[in-house]
């Protein structure tokens, strides 16, 4: 059954006073579908469903719910019900869910949870959600390096029986200070002599990430080196846990969405769901950049106003302004998108060498693009005035003005679009805030200025 059809069916059952029957429909849904259904229900229907829904039915989806739905759960469910559901979650998912609860409810749930479980969750919650520590799991097999392989296998099997571990690929060895010594996959471990020491069997760990680092760093390392999981250490290189592949995929997806929003000119990423976000909050997140761009566009308006005499005498110049402005914006947005991609994947580094490489490459690229665009621009710039006036000399001047303005603005927009993300990264700001609207506005200023200065010189108006 389609999610939208299910939403309608649940809504009809709830409105008919059959909320219990509506809850039964959740039993056959995947965690992803549970999240989508709850998001799409109206606020009143959602709260009625949650009031009678056994949270254990949707336990796997709890950590993925946006904060608005989690607050609805806190509003309609008792602390005992929430605690029962949270206690069945993996510790990292429990921490994610508790982060979204109102502070008072969170404190009560932590107090009611089993002591050891609560302590582990609190340890994870001391890291911000956007950090590596906020997404790592500590429920992984880690043993002292001086244990024998036989002892490790026996201890490992015993802990697996009591579900002490989350899904993992490797067993980790540490020294007496808890510093990571190495790792070994399970299949290889079972082939080693039972009397051998674990530290003699493991491979050295080449890549680790600090718990206080941005979670995007873990995703970059995993992608660059094809890792299934990334070990996490503290400031003293003591092993804390791992970031698993499923969490890494979530990070990549989340960071992509945030960068997409920033590149579109939205100052603050939408942390929850667009569907549940209130219009007022959406407006507040979109307004700052729009106000800034509006003020920047006043520069363009001032430049146009300064050349009013030129426009009055050569009205046809106004016909080509939109084409030139759009072209520079498109070129700048393209170059910026490629540079941001290079920064995110690690292909481009913040160094003088890469900066010069980018400048050279973008200059050559712009030149090749202009070899295609300039003949088209010149032909259009000549044809329209010639049809309107029949004067070859007049049309030639217009076409030349348009072509030169196109070339200059293209180079400026390409360079700005390429260098702005690098400059922001150098300043330790998110390169994605070099949004397409900002680059377009800078391109417009360069285009209009060049356009009218060239026109003034060619037509000797000023």
What local confidence, expressed as pLDDT, does residue 273 receive? 57
Residue 144 phi, psi dihedral angles, 5° rounding: -60, 140
Same domain flag for 299 and 393: yes
- Residues 446-461, mean pLDDT to the nearest whole number: 78
Strand order in the sheet with 239-244: 209-210, 229-233, 239-244
- Mean pLDDT over each residue of the chain, to the nearest integer: 81
Cα of 321 vs its chain's centroid, Å: 35
Same domain flag for 340 and 253: no
Domain CATH number, residue 106: 1.25.60.10
Cα of 33 vs its chain's centroid, Å: 22
Is residue 272 one of the residues assigned to a domain? no
Strands 170-174 and 180-185: antiparallel
3-state secondary structure 162-190: CCCCCCCCEEEEECCCCEEEEEEEHHHHC
Is residue 273 one of the residues assigned to a domain? no
Same domain flag for 104 and 197: no
Same domain flag for 325 and 444: yes
Range of the domain at 85: 3-125
Domain CATH number, residue 400: 1.10.357.20
The string of pLDDT tens digits covering residues 353-408 is 888 888 888 889 889 988 998 999 899 889 988 888 888 888 888 888 888 888 88
CA distance 271 to 258: 9
Is residue 137 one of the residues assigned to a domain? no
**Structure tokens that stand for 280 in this block:** 């007022």
Is residue 171 one of the residues assigned to a domain? yes
pTM of model > 0.75 = no
Is residue 356 one of the residues assigned to a domain? yes
- Residues 237-266, mean pLDDT to the nearest whole number: 69
Is residue 136 one of the residues assigned to a domain? no
CA distance 98 to 121: 9
Same domain flag for 293 and 373: yes
Is residue 235 one of the residues assigned to a domain? yes
The string of pLDDT tens digits covering residues 269-326 is 445 555 666 676 656 665 666 566 667 667 777 777 777 767 766 777 777 877 887 7
Statement: residue 198 has pLDDT above 70: yes
Same domain flag for 443 and 299: yes
CA distance 81 to 15: 24
Same domain flag for 193 and 64: no
The string of pLDDT tens digits covering residues 46-87 is 888 888 888 887 888 888 888 888 888 888 888 898 999 888
Residue 183 phi, psi dihedral angles, 5° rounding: -145, 165
Lowest mean pLDDT among 30-34, 57-61, 155-159, 431-435: 431-435
Same domain flag for 361 and 425: yes
Q: What is the per-residue burial (b if ≥16 Cβ within 10 Å, else e) of 326-365?
A: ebbbbbbbbbbbbbbebbbeeebeeeeeebeebeeebeeb
Same domain flag for 210 and 237: yes
Last residue of a domain, one of 263, 288, 318: 263
Number of domains into which the chain is organized: 3
Last residue of a domain, one of 125, 153, 175: 125
CA distance 384 to 322: 15
Same domain flag for 418 and 328: yes
Same domain flag for 23 and 100: yes
Same domain flag for 76 and 166: no
Is residue 308 one of the residues assigned to a domain? yes
């Amino acid at each position: 059954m389609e999610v939208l059809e299910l939403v309608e069916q649940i809504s009809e059952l709830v409105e008919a006073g059959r909320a219990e029957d509506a809850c039964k429909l959740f039993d056959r849904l995947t965690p992803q579908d549970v999240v989508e259904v709850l998001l799409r229900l109206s606020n009143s229907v959602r709260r009625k469903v949650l009031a009678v829904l056994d949270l254990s039915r949707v336990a796997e989806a709890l950590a993925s719910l946006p904060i608005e739905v989690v607050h609805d759960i806190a509003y309609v469910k008792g602390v005992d019900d929430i605690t029962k559901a949270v206690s069945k979650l993996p510790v990292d998912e429990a921490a994610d869910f508790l982060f979204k609860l109102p502070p008072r409810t969170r404190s009560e749930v932590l107090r009611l949870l089993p002591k050891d479980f609560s302590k582990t969750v609190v340890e994870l919650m001391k890291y911000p959600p956007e950090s590596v520590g906020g997404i790592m799991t500590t429920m992984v097999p880690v043993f002292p390096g001086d244990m024998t392989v036989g002892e490790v296998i026996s201890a490992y099997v015993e802990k697996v029986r009591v579900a002490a571990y989350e899904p993992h690929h490797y067993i980790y060895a540490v020294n007496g200070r808890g510093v990571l010594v190495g790792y070994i996959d399970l299949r290889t471990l079972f082939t080693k002599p039972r009397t051998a020491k674990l530290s003699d069997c493991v491979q050295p760990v080449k890549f680790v990430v600090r718990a206080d680092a941005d979670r995007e760093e873990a995703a970059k390392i995993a992608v660059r080196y094809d890792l299934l999981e990334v070990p996490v250490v503290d400031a003293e290189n003591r092993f804390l846990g791992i970031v698993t592949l499923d969490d890494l995929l979530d990070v990549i997806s989340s960071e992509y969405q945030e960068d997409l929003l920033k590149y579109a000119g939205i100052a603050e990423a939408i942390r929850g769901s667009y569907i549940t976000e209130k219009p007022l909050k959406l407006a507040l997140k979109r307004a700052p950049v729009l106000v800034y761009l509006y003020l920047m566009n006043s520069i363009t308006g001032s430049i146009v106003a300064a050349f009013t005499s030129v426009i009055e005498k050569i009205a046809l110049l106004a016909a080509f302004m939109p084409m030139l402005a759009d072209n520079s914006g498109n070129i700048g947005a393209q170059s910026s998108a490629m540079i941001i991609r290079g920064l995110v994947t690690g292909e481009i580094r913040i160094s003088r060498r890469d900066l010069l490489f980018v400048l050279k490459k973008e200059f050559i690229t712009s030149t090749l693009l202009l070899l295609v665009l300039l003949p088209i621009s010149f032909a259009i710039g000549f044809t329209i005035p010639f049809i309107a006036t029949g004067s070859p000399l007049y049309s030639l001047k217009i076409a030349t003005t348009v072509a030169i303005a196109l070339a200059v603005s293209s180079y400026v927009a390409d360079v700005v679009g390429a260098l702005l993300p690098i400059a922001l990264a150098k300043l330790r700001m998110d390169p994605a805030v070099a949004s397409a609207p900002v680059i377009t506005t800078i391109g417009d200023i360069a285009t209009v200025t060049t356009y009218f200065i060239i026109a003034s010189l060619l037509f000797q108006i000023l």
